[in-house]
Structure 1
Amino acid sequence: MRSKAKVGALLSVLLMGLGQIYHRQFIKGILFIALEIYLLVFWSLPFRYAMWGLTTLGETPQTQKGFQIIQGDHSIFLMIEGIIYLILFLLFVWVYYLNVRDAYKVGKLRDHGVIPNSFKKTLSSVWENGFPYILLTPSILFTAFLTILPLLFGILIAFTNYSGPNHLPPKALVDWVGFQTFIDLFNLKTWSNTFYGVFSWTVIWAILSTATTFFLGLIFAVFINHRGIKLKKFWRSIFILPWAIPQFISILVMRNLFNGEFGPLNQYLEAIGLAAIPWLSDPFWAKTTLVVVNMWFGFPFWLVLMSGVMTSIDKELFEAADVDGASASQKFWKITMPIVMFSTAPLLIMSFAGNFNNFNVIYLMTQGKPVDVNYSYAGSTDILISWIYKMTLEQSQFAMASVVSILIFVVVATLSVWNFRRTKAFKEEDMMS
């Protein structure tokens, strides 16, 4: 005896809806067939053109005859159009799969002697059982075109020669070059020296900016939560102000405060007989200034977070420690610190990832300066994300910027996943589940 499930699935593979018609679900089958016919008739040629554009990035460059400009193919528009149609095609494949799966499931029911649902019952069942999926469908579409599309576009740019001055549409075409841009980043000294220098400072910056804000917030939280401190709410309110004020405004104020020529800090130093410090014009002092300024912006978050964790610690733990004769430092390192780390470790990892891409503080404070003659399109205090900004908006080096952004993703994602897997909070969550 033939399996109705297999026959229905095979028919739906040949043409959407045939399996449903075989199972006598005529309205559902006709809708599926109408969808496929519509796509084949009206979308076949645009899809073929989009795939041609995505694979070739155009063949006819812009030309000029006298004063008349004859437009050619725009490589970037062709790439974006190709990605859009590729995403739509994948969505169609997903619907095709649902059609085959539906035919197979209905066939399974028929094999067991169950009469398939009518179209009305099918709609009712979909509404009752698939309501969460119906609500999630718009999110899937928005994610596909607002997240996946830009992500794919940014990745594909890395495998082209899209850069100035010779490969900028519409005047010139862009070509696929494979991994050549990746090779140039590591083999050409003009690029490799910049990448290694900026990357090393980015890692140092991410570690220092994360560690300093974390431990400064911890110190203030310990002081404020000490039994002898009064007006705890007042002190928490005062210290959270740097985090509450818009960072953009605060950074501009800090930049004037540390200005080497007219900044008040240098004026105070000169007033007491000390030499002025090149806060923003010397590479070492500029990096030091960035770390200090970032501490001012970052520690209130950890202060509030750790204060909440500390106030939730069971007092019986400290009372038991007092009975055992534990000192204040022993109670801190054996009780407070492990609980704080357990609660804040995931956020600490996220903070590291955030500081790795902390564009605002770097660019608004120093704009990547002072200049380093050994770097290409980067200054002494530039991190990878600010270097990407300069390469794209100021120098039109889009392909190289895309390569660097991919490397940032690989590094941050690898470190974050590795650290998350080693975090006790997630280990205990897995054990509980």
Structure 2
Amino acid sequence: MQRHRKTATILSILSMGLGQLYNRQFVKGILLLLVEAVGLVYFVPRLGNAIWGIVTLGSEPAHMERIGKKMVQVGDHSIYLLINGLIVVLVFAIFAVIYVLNVRDAYRNGKHRDEGGAPASIRETLAHVADKNFPHLLLTLPAISVLFLTIMPIIMAIMLAFTNYSAPNHIPPAKLVDWVGFQTFIDLIQLKTWSHTFYGVFVWTVIWAIIATVTTYFGGILVALLINQSDIRLKGLWRTIYIVPYAIPQLISLLVMRNLFNGQFGPINQYLGYFGLGGLPWLTDPFWAKVTVIIVNMWVGIPVSMVLILGVLTAIPKDLYEAAEVDGATPFQKLRIITLPFVLFATAPVLIMQFAGNINNFNVIFLLTNGDPVKGDYQYAGATDLLVTWLFKLTFNNSKYNMASAIGIIIFVIIATLSIWSYRRSKSFKEEDMIQ
């Protein structure tokens, strides 16, 4: 017989809490009724306006009007409408999840009654939550925080890419923003003034990410292997020396490096001059500027890989090396057959993460060169700009928010695609039980 479960389900669909009241769970039912009442009070005056704001982005630009004796701003601000609309829609999504859980709870308790059981009291419900669902309860607040502080800005950035939100003609409050579909992406790829810059910066970003990852990773392996040699004395001192560049904040290190490589007053060119070698345009020539950021990134990045790989080296069983020595293996053969496979297996996910991080390596480029030297045929970008630093300039220096959002989406697609593809091909993913 399914009378109770059907009745409770239908009542909970009609209104939150009715199914619980039918199941004689009065406290829970009253609380759910209060939640629905609060939801109605919040959504009735807001939900329609929120959807209207997202769809239209406003109908009249904001301006000042005299109302009585006061000047009052009237009209619409497209970005405020978009943000407020997103907040209301996300709150409504949370409310909808609660509504579904309310229906599910009423059905389960109705089913329990059909099977001859008694409905749980509020004390039993709280005990069940504290025992079985306590992790979910603790995770709820962080999940809501992630929803509004991380996911909502991402959605906002994606939506801006499909608008014409850019200077000088579409900046609120004086001007409204309009939906333009994929026009921003089309301009970025096809319009010559933008496409030339995009392809140039994109190619350099990929080259930079590959070189920066390879040099820091294998540089870290080399340093770690040298320090881990059995005949090396004062290993703790060597570890400390090589970790210092990582321990010092990058802001300080990179600004110091910027002064060291200064073409006119930098100590490096002065020392080169003492030996009659002349100075180099470290930061002012496009080629040498790229060489400089790679060298400085090695200084900053090798210690990170070194520390990670030292930990992996200590975990390799010593009897493997002893067995290899018995078989007459040379040091190079032990490195190739034992050390590198273990290191690559353990650090493959981190290597992928480093590659993704180098695509978005904002600090090194921005603090060392600011994306310069300037290239005359580039649109708001310099010779060493990565996609992420170009995005920054478009946003904060030139108010090209729609173009910056489109670039941000492209960066995300690139990183996500490469990371997922490379990780699924790594032995860390295919052979998870190798070291268990």
- The correspondence of residues 13-412 of structure 1 with structure 2, limited to 5 A, is 13-63=13-63, 70-412=73-415
Inter-partner Cα distance in structure 2 for 1:237 and 1:341: 24
Higher alpha-carbon deviation: 73-82 or 29-38: 29-38
Distance change in 2, residues 1:318/1:397 (3 Å): same
Instruction: Say whether the 8 Å CA contact 1:160–1:399 is kept in structure 2.
Output: yes
Inter-partner Cα distance in structure 2 for 1:305 and 1:37: 54
Distance change in 2, residues 1:40/1:419 (3 Å): same
- Superposed CA deviations along residues 110-167 of structure 1, whole A, max 9, x for unmatched, are 1211111123322232232222222112112211211112111111111111100111
- Superposed CA deviations along residues 323-346 of structure 1, whole A, max 9, x for unmatched, are 111111001100011111111111
Inter-partner Cα distance in structure 2 for 1:64 and 1:115: 64
Distance change in 2, residues 1:26/1:69 (3 Å): closer
Instruction: Say whether the 8 Å CA contact 2:163–2:177 is kept in structure 1.
Output: yes
Inter-partner Cα distance in structure 1 for 2:42 and 2:295: 61
Inter-partner Cα distance in structure 1 for 2:424 and 2:244: 34
Displacement after TM superposition at 1:70 (Å): 4.5
Inter-partner Cα distance in structure 2 for 1:186 and 1:5: 57
Instruction: Say whether the 8 Å CA contact 2:60–2:76 is kept in structure 1.
Output: yes
**Structure 1 residue runs without a partner (length 5+):** none
Q: Partner amino acid for 2:40?
A: L
Please state whether the residue corresponding to 1:425 is helix, strand or coil.
helix
Instruction: Say whether the 8 Å CA contact 1:160–1:176 is kept in structure 2.
Output: yes
TM-score by length of 1: 0.96
Displacement after TM superposition at 1:419 (Å): 1.5
Q: Partner amino acid for 1:214?
A: Y
Instruction: Say whether the 8 Å CA contact 1:280–1:289 is kept in structure 2.
Output: yes
What is the percentage of aligned positions where both structures have the same residue? Answer: 56
Higher alpha-carbon deviation: 290-299 or 236-245: 236-245
Paired residues in the alignment total 433
Higher alpha-carbon deviation: 123-132 or 374-383: 123-132
CA RMSD of aligned residues (A): 1.9
Inter-partner Cα distance in structure 1 for 2:224 and 2:118: 67
Instruction: Say whether the 8 Å CA contact 2:2–2:114 is kept in structure 1.
Output: no
Inter-partner Cα distance in structure 1 for 2:127 and 2:140: 18
Q: Partner amino acid for 1:219?
A: L
Inter-partner Cα distance in structure 2 for 1:127 and 1:256: 58
Distance change in 2, residues 1:227/1:128 (3 Å): closer
Q: Partner amino acid for 1:308?
A: G
Inter-partner Cα distance in structure 2 for 1:42 and 1:301: 50
Instruction: Say whether the 8 Å CA contact 1:257–1:265 is kept in structure 2.
Output: yes
Instruction: Say whether the 8 Å CA contact 1:71–1:170 is kept in structure 2.
Output: no
